[in-house]
Amino acid sequence: MQYGDKSMVASTMGLSSINMSTMGVSVAGESSKRIYWKELFNFDWKVSDDIEKRPYMYLSENLDRLLVQFKNDFSAMIYEHPGTKAGQKRIDWQHKYTMKRYPVMLKGVSSANFLFSPDFEKYIDVDYVANQFVIRNTKSEKIKIRIPAGLISISLKGKNRSETAIAALSTQIMFNTNDSIRIISKEGLDCILELPTLRIKSFA
């Protein structure tokens, strides 16, 4: 059998060349396994020698958008590329817009991209006034959808408003597809919530 998973490989030695590859595993029998890489495209990016100053870099599901965010920075940049030229794998990213309210508090220590929809059009955030999870439009940053408090509730009083407590909340919600999110409800049920109808699709 075969399966693949997209992953971005960046140098950890201060170099600027980054390759986008797809990793797969071929299995023959139960004891033989072969791991392979196939380069999809590559690009240059300045990488600081200081690990703390290196950005988190995420690719959209279709590989046409790049989200760049620095640790503890409340802004993030979205880039797009027009594609590769015939016979070449080199691409050039073009800056499209900058987010001014990246949900740093929700991200916590995770380096995974669970806060954004696969196409980067929407992202999960918290309305700290209403104590409610919301879905925002990435470009306008306006609230598009409010997640019902009856499904997943937030208490941001006292110690619950600490950075650690807020980050812990994010382990209960993530994007499933561009039009649905996965939530661990207050009752501990694993469910899929369709957007924007807010219809519960399934429980596990």
The pLDDT tens digits of the residues spanning 72-131 come to 788 899 999 988 777 778 888 999 999 998 887 776 555 567 889 999 999 999 888 888
Q: Are residues 87 and 109 in the same domain?
A: no
Q: Are residues 3 and 79 in the same domain?
A: yes
- Pick from 73, 125, 72, 85: nearest CA to 103: 125
Beta strand segments in the chain, E = 2-10, 17-28, 32-44, 56-59, 65-69, 76-80, 94-99, 122-127, 132-137, 143-146, 173-177, 180-184, 190-194, 200-203
Domain count within the chain: 2
Contact 31, 53 (CB under 8 A): no
DSSP secondary structure code for residue 164 in this structure: H
Which of 102, 126, 145 lies at the terminal end of a domain, its last residue? 102
Band the pLDDT of 21: cuts 50, 70, 90. Answer: low
Q: Are residues 65 and 129 in the same domain?
A: no
What pTM does this model have?
A: 0.77
